[in-house]
Structure 1
Amino acid sequence: MSDRSPSTPDLVVLVGNPRAGSRTRGIAEAVTVALLDRLGGPPNAVQVLELAEIVGVSFGPEPAYGAKAGPDPFAAVRSARLLVVATPTYKGSYTGLVKVFLDQFGHRELAGVVAMPIAVAASPSHADAAASALRDVLVELGAQVPAPPLAVLESQLADVYEIAAQWADQHSTAISAQRTGVT
């Protein structure tokens, strides 16, 4: 009954930092590892999408293309069972890369996807605002967000595995229930 192929990723990590290989990716991967540890069973596949490598932005009449070619990132996000979306905070919100990417999805197009938003910022109020805004847009797109977003301070990034483990301990049951359709 599923249109999922064996190569379709179960878990997609979407990193919205304009710099590939960032600390934002580090926290996203730490949360992914912690969730997989608590949810049990390896996923079909995990795919990391670095928006810095795949999103092109143009302010002129010609379209811009990202530098990295590969499988359709929009299809990967649409078909993910779990979606971890991580962004640094810019001016109190998620990055323009995340905005440009998510704007390509129509209303409710992510229905059936369980999402976990993560925001990194220098101040608690900015981290909370960006995480909340990211949660809101994911819900608008139809994703289920069964746990509160994770807001991480830049000063805490040395402890990403501890932060991820604590968050996963608190919220993996709700994520698992949503993932399996139990509410």
Structure 2
Amino acid sequence: MTTPLKVVAVVGSMSRPSKTRALVDLVIETMGDVEQVDARVIEIVDLVPGLAGALDRDHVDAATADALNAVENADIVIAASPVFRGSYTGMFKHFFDLVDQYALANTPVILAATGGSDRHALVLDQALRPLFAFFQAWTAPVGIYLSAGDFDGTTILNPEVFERIDMAVKDVLPVARLLADHTSVSA
């Protein structure tokens, strides 16, 4: 019997309900249809009290420390943020500023973003991909971007989105399973 893959999603939205959270939930659901996963969603909005004033890792509260540890020990990370002024949200970046520099090396990461229009789709390659390249993470070749027109509230309407999610999931799951199985054999 295989151990479930630890999937940790970080949602950079600062409000609820959140289109970005709806996208993350769909990605996790799609993963669960293909592979056994143990998923956790971290919403940055919940961490603001213990994260916003922390200048370094030693000054975060217990909830933020737990969230950072979860990300650092994940088999797969889903990094998702709404676009704010052409990039990810500031608190999303602040959270990842506190992640250990080497903790995500070779970790499969799915990049996802939501924005007001298709003009912001490059956030995946111009902002998120370089952030995770710094961590030496393995980012899925396919990123997932949705604009406001892809939703009715937080319900995803665009059928092409499901294809992109499928591609991203099929890219990361074999890599994550190989790494997780190799790690458990080595331990």
8 Å contact 2:107–2:138 — kept in the other structure? yes
Corresponding residue of 1:175: 172
Corresponding residue of 1:89: 83
Match for 1:54: what amino acid?
Answer: L
8 Å contact 1:89–1:121 — kept in the other structure? yes
**Runs of 5+ in structure 1 lacking a partner?**
1-5
Which of the residues 12, 16, 24 maps onto 2:12? 16
Matched, 1:57 2:52: yes
The whole-number CA distance in structure 1 between the counterparts of 2:29 and 2:160 is 12
Distance 1:122 1:46, change over 3 A: same
Identity of aligned residues (%): 21
Structure 1 position 108, deviation (Å): 3.0
Structure 1 position 96, deviation (Å): 0.4
The whole-number CA distance in structure 1 between the counterparts of 2:28 and 2:101 is 26
The whole-number CA distance in structure 2 between the counterparts of 1:11 and 1:118 is 14
Distance 1:167 1:104, change over 3 A: same
The 5-angstrom pairing of residues 131-142 of structure 1 reads 131-132=124-125, 133-142=127-136
The whole-number CA distance in structure 1 between the counterparts of 2:39 and 2:177 is 18
The whole-number CA distance in structure 1 between the counterparts of 2:149 and 2:111 is 19
Corresponding residue of 1:29: 25
Structure 1 position 179, deviation (Å): 1.6
What TM-score comes out, normalization by structure 2 length? 0.77
Greater strand proportion: 2
**Runs of 5+ in structure 2 lacking a partner?**
180-187
The whole-number CA distance in structure 2 between the counterparts of 1:98 and 1:84 is 12
RMSD of aligned Cα (Å): 2.9
The whole-number CA distance in structure 1 between the counterparts of 2:87 and 2:46 is 21
Count of residue pairs the alignment pairs up: 169
The whole-number CA distance in structure 1 between the counterparts of 2:5 and 2:64 is 14
What TM-score comes out, normalization by structure 1 length? 0.78
Ranges of 4+ aligned residues in structure 1 off by more than 3 Å = 63-66, 68-71, 161-164
Corresponding residue of 1:160: 156
Matched, 1:46 2:39: yes
Greater helix proportion: 2
